[in-house]
């Protein structure tokens, strides 16, 4: 999910956040509440696939003394940083990290209570295979919780909806999605059907709009949008028409807002789907 200005899982614009919120990254208090409602009351092991810097551990473990966390990722450097950020926390003894792929999972059958995938499945070329592995390692009755975006339908606001910027970035993100296939950056609304294909029973699918409205200068907000366009452009074969259109739309919107020193209420919102399914 490419986002700035409040809740960005991957590509952020400038933002000042307290340390405890910075550790959670895009993961906001509402996501914590939505996920926490489905965690088991009894002691359990939660495996996070593609944990990155483990924002879920920082969000969920403090209030869940019976929950143990195992973060799995292929990136050794990110795992080392995640471990460093956990060190010294009151709940650090309940968090562990392991390097390994999402499929096949380097774990035995039926030993996990909850499998979490937060902004990870949409990077996988075969998310169905990852869900199949999740079913294998889950205990009977265990849960898979997937938090996945529809990155093709970002909304941009600065004192109102920025129609041209929203349209231009949708075109850019859709081109990015096409080139990322078979991974799917708009996987969120598909996860429930994929989980059912692997034998899961769907408990609930919760649509959620991820983003925070904040008062800021046009310079801050639109520079963040330019950074997003630049990051997405790195995954494209060249400076295509979608990148040019997005950059021009941002420049025009900034001028229409009154220039870079104008102050307004800004937000980039991204649709996210939280799928809870039971083995």
pLDDT tens digits, one per residue of 247-256: 999 999 999 9
pLDDT category of residue 4 using cuts at 50, 70 and 90 = very low
Q: Residue count of the chain, please give it.
A: 279
Token pair 């898979």 is found at 144
Mean of the pLDDT values across residues 45-50?
A: 97
Record the pTM. Answer: 0.88
What is the pLDDT at residue 235?
Answer: 82
Residues 6+ apart with CB under 8 A from 246: 165, 168, 169, 171, 172, 225, 229
What pLDDT is attached to residue 23? 53
CB atoms within 10 A of CB 134: 30
Instruction: Tell me what pLDDT residue 13 has.
Output: 40
- Give 48-66 pLDDT, tens digit per residue: 999 999 999 999 999 999 9
Q: Is 126 left (phi over 0), alpha (psi -120 to 50) or beta?
A: beta
* Domains located in the chain, CATH noted: 19-278 (3.40.50.150)
Distance, in Å, from the CA atom of 113 to the CA atom of 44, rounded to the nearest integer, reads: 5
Average pLDDT over residues 192-210: 97
Average pLDDT (23-49) is 88
**HSE (side-chain half, CA atoms, 13 Å) at 251:** 6
pLDDT of residue 131: 98
Average pLDDT over the chain reads 91
Give the mean pLDDT of 147-169: 97
Q: What is the pLDDT of residue 24?
A: 56
| Residue 7 main-chain phi, psi, to 5 deg | -155, 85
pLDDT band at 26 (very low <50, low <70, confident <90, very high): confident
pLDDT-derived band at 180 (thresholds 50, 70, 90) equals very high
- Average pLDDT of the segment spanning 166-174: 97
Q: What is the distance between the alpha carbons of residues 69 and 79, in angstroms, rounded to a whole number?
A: 13
Q: What stretch of H or E contains 81?
A: helix 76-86
Q: Which residues contact 243 (CB under 8 A, 6 or more apart)?
A: 172, 229, 232, 233, 236
**pLDDT above 80 (res 129):** yes
């Amino acid at each position: 999910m490419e986002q700035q200005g409040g809740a960005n899982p991957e590509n952020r614009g400038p933002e000042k956040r307290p340390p405890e919120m910075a550790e959670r990254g895009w993961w906001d208090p509402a996501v914590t509440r939505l996920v926490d409602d489905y965690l088991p009351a009894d002691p359990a092991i939660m495996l996070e696939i593609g944990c990155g810097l483990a924002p879920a551990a920082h969000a969920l473990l403090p209030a869940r003394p019976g929950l143990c966390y195992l973060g799995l990722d292929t990136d050794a450097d990110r795992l080392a940083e995640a471990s460093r950020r956990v060190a010294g926390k009151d709940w650090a003894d309940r968090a562990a990290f392991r390097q390994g792929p999402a499929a096949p999972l380097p774990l035995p059958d039926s030993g996990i209570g909850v499998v979490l995938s937060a902004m990870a499945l949409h990077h996988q070329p075969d998310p169905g295979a990852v869900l199949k592995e999740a079913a294998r390692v889950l205990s009977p009755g265990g849960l898979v919780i997937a938090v996945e975006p529809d990155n093709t339908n970002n909304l941009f606001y600065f004192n109102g909806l920025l129609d041209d910027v929203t349209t231009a970035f949708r075109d850019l993100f859709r081109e990015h999605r096409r080139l990322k296939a078979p991974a799917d950056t708009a996987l969120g609304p598909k996860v429930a059907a994929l989980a059912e294909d692997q034998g899961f029973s769907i408990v609930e699918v919760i649509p959620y709009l991820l983003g925070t409205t904040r008062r800021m200068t046009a310079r801050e907000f639109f520079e963040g949008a330019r950074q997003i366009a630049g990051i997405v452009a790195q995954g494209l074969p060249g400076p295509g028409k979608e990148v040019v259109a997005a950059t021009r739309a941002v420049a025009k919107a900034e001028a229409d807002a009154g220039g870079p020193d104008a102050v307004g209420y800004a937000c980039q919102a991204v649709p996210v789907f939280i799928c809870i399914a039971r083995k």
